[in-house]
Structure 1
């Protein structure tokens, strides 16, 4: 009799939970139907973040959703189809509500704070920011969320792990196996527009080493940071895209050694790449993503944004210019590394320029200080220090897998938490210091 009662109880529970799951799926499909019916309306918020992360000027209001479709078409093989979900509501809500505060000064240490009080503030902020980054990472990896978006046809075959299960040294040894390569003359047999004739004979800073290097993010938290002198004290300073120094010297410094650009900055007229002084008298490193499994020849034939004519014109005008192109296969090797060490499924898009910059400098520098990449107590809704636009997703990521990048970067950091969260930079040892 007892067995019968237990069996009936189990059956009733199975039916109940099955019905709940079924109703949830119906609710999910309903929202997808609504989105298909209202597909002509795009989310301004999502578009802003999309274009921020891809290098567009923040106030470019004439970009259309068709351009997003065109972008996806460029990065897919002809026989691959993709469903683009526009203005989409989450199919399954995030049950962990956002508790993280932006633009608050309560965690900032002031001159009259005792060492103990400052340490307490730093610890509390650390716990909150890491919790938020982990929440975002877990939320992005939710298999019940929209999973059709795969514009680069990523077919990951590795085994997802967790960097917390490894020591920082083990992580660095894995990262050391990856070489972020720039294209050299011998890598390309002439190529489109005779590209091979214009490529450098040597790789980026081949046979050169630096002691101290700085990577300067473009984060809004750099505004009023007074980090300029600290940044300029480094032997090499790397910046991104069109982030200016003029007028912001107290916060971001004056020196620029390398400027890492995505292909849109090189190709789009509004960035005035061929004429603007911001791209002159510095080493330029440009990147353009390929399909996940594309060969170098396939990418050369069909880049996402055709930067080759502009590259050649720049080299013609500036014969001695140091202008390098990243081998796009290196981008996906870095992505694989991050996915190998992330328990959650990553966004199937290339990593951010920030993590790429770290990959570029690790073989060259004794140590790298990365400014306002891992958020400090100055974290703000402001996307960039040079523009007043607000957008919190610039910190946590909408297109790039920023949460995973920042969690791992903090894990391999070697400097104290007060410096990370109050001063605003992490320090990563260069490969020369890693004995594997």
Structure 2
């Protein structure tokens, strides 16, 4: 005869089992609640600044934005192609604290240095195999990726209004119109541009005359003379204060870049635009005496379209500081001449800028110079950026973003001071115009062409007006032809009184 459990003991066992079931249910409910809140948290942080600030506060949004992209990487699974997000271009990222930029780099570009046969764009796309990806299934996973900002290829075009700029019947037309205005943008990008215009992170203050609308539309030669007279290309040297008092000042070049380099006959400024893909411009680009590239743009695997020669690489301080770019160890940066830049407050001197850089440019500069003491490496004087910005603003009929110009325009003007003729490729989009941001990545957004953080729209207007080549060159090759500053004389035609003084 089996042992019979007393009634009181049975009640206790039954109670324990009930408690265990309730605990399991509670844990499951809590997990589902946490997952829901996490999605809401990252969704708001990435796409809705007012909602996030109201619910979580600015500090919460600042922390959440980088995590959004980490979640997308988990959704795609280990080994899948991760997205790259540049906070200076992505419209969805709007810093909450104007004094502190938000680094949200989530994948590296240096990894694209692989051989032609290994390049991810040469292979057939594969579905990711992560555990969470498998559990969710493809439709739900892609829906979450879209919501969280991990857009792919042409699916990443944003709102319908932005996509309408591209294609044979797009609002951009065959050739860039130098009268492009923010009023022509779609609702999403127009709002983003307005947000950046109002943000004024760098404390831009314009005088009454500077705030006035432009006096008249300057011609191409007038614009060229204005740039020549009012934008002085300068790089840091050891005798400049406060650097003269630092032990590492000897790491800076003894002479400015314009004294060490050039003059060159022909120069190619190669943008990183997605429209360079399938262009076949590689041989033409390499035929120039000097070739300029930007940030982490690779050549390996893309030689047919972008060439293989790199003479100068212009990099921003964010690329230097990001662990994802492996600036100190990647072979991408170890060839050619490096020129770095970091935006300073609008009216600051070098001492104030040194203590208030966007990213730790000087720390990284010292580290790199000690690893590569023989490689020429210059730092652009921050006044160059704002001198150029004022030229763009002064020649537009509406306020532009109060953020420094793009690396593309900086590099173009830099080479105009060193070369007789400058050819700029795909800064103005050709017939291959696309929402694909970079030729070496899959991230797509109209803002990479039309501008968000940088006043790209207005920069392109300026370059189009100065172009001395034909519209056919732009349409077929995305090629703009600009003269070097040394090749034309403004003395007899224009005087400095022609231009607004700033």
The TM-score bracket by the shorter chain reads 0.7 to 0.9
**Higher relative contact order (CA closer than 8 Å, sequence separation 6+):** 1
**Matching of residue 196 in structure 1 with residue 246 in structure 2:** no
Residues 322 and 71 (structure 1), Cα distance of their counterparts in 2 relative to 1, 3 Å cut: farther
**Matching of residue 267 in structure 1 with residue 321 in structure 2:** yes
Residues 345 and 356 (structure 1), Cα distance of their counterparts in 2 relative to 1, 3 Å cut: same
In 2, Cα distance between equivalents of 1:255 and 1:105:
32
SS of match in other structure, 1:390: coil
**Matching of residue 323 in structure 1 with residue 391 in structure 2:** no
Q: Corresponding residue for 2:151?
A: none
Q: Corresponding residue for 1:73?
A: 100
How far off its partner does 1:433 sit? 2.1
Structure 2 residue runs without a partner (length 5+):
1-47, 70-80, 103-147, 149-159, 491-502
1:309 to 345, 349, 363: 363
Report matched runs for 1:110-259 at 5 Å: 125-126=174-175, 131=180, 135-136=184-185, 148-157=198-207, 158-162=210-214, 165-177=217-229, 178-190=231-243, 194-206=247-259, 208-259=262-313
How far off its partner does 1:143 sit? 11
1:59 to 51, 58, 83: 83
How far off its partner does 1:68 sit? 4.1
SS of match in other structure, 1:411: helix
In 1, Cα distance between equivalents of 2:423 and 2:486:
16
**Matching of residue 353 in structure 1 with residue 407 in structure 2:** yes
How far off its partner does 1:398 sit? 0.7
Q: Corresponding residue for 2:439?
A: 385
Q: Report Cα offsets for 1:96-146 as digits up to 9, x if no partner.
A: x94874563579xxxxxxxxxxxxxxx951277965777249986999878
Residues 177 and 464 of structure 2 are in contact (CA less than 8 Å); yes or no, is this contact kept in structure 1?
no
Residues 223 and 102 (structure 1), Cα distance of their counterparts in 2 relative to 1, 3 Å cut: farther
Residues 146 and 402 (structure 1), Cα distance of their counterparts in 2 relative to 1, 3 Å cut: closer
In 2, Cα distance between equivalents of 1:163 and 1:411:
16
Moved more, 280-289 or 300-309: 300-309
In 1, Cα distance between equivalents of 2:286 and 2:413:
21
In 1, Cα distance between equivalents of 2:363 and 2:435:
37
Residues 105 and 170 (structure 1), Cα distance of their counterparts in 2 relative to 1, 3 Å cut: closer
In 2, Cα distance between equivalents of 1:232 and 1:62:
28
In 2, Cα distance between equivalents of 1:250 and 1:68:
38
**Matching of residue 423 in structure 1 with residue 472 in structure 2:** no
How far off its partner does 1:302 sit? 2.4
Aligned length: 362
4+ runs deviating over 6 angstroms = 41-45, 141-146
In 1, Cα distance between equivalents of 2:255 and 2:196:
43
Q: Corresponding residue for 1:412?
A: 466
Residues 235 and 298 (structure 1), Cα distance of their counterparts in 2 relative to 1, 3 Å cut: same
In 2, Cα distance between equivalents of 1:311 and 1:73:
21
Residues 416 and 162 (structure 1), Cα distance of their counterparts in 2 relative to 1, 3 Å cut: farther
Q: Report Cα offsets for 1:228-274 as digits up to 9, x if no partner.
A: 11110111100000000000000000000000000011111111111
Q: Corresponding residue for 1:104?
A: 167
How far off its partner does 1:70 sit? 6.4
Q: TM-score, normalised by structure 1?
A: 0.73
In 1, Cα distance between equivalents of 2:381 and 2:212:
25
In 2, Cα distance between equivalents of 1:308 and 1:222:
33
Residues 227 and 250 of structure 1 are in contact (CA less than 8 Å); yes or no, is this contact kept in structure 2?
yes
How far off its partner does 1:362 sit? 1.1
In 1, Cα distance between equivalents of 2:246 and 2:294:
27
**Matching of residue 335 in structure 1 with residue 384 in structure 2:** no
How far off its partner does 1:69 sit? 4.8
In 1, Cα distance between equivalents of 2:93 and 2:478:
38
Residues 343 and 357 of structure 2 are in contact (CA less than 8 Å); yes or no, is this contact kept in structure 1?
yes
In 2, Cα distance between equivalents of 1:340 and 1:435:
22
SS of match in other structure, 1:285: strand
Structure 1 residue runs without a partner (length 5+):
1-30, 49-56, 76-86, 88-96, 108-122
Q: Report Cα offsets for 1:254-309 as digits up to 9, x if no partner.
A: 00000000001111111111111111121000001111111111111221111212
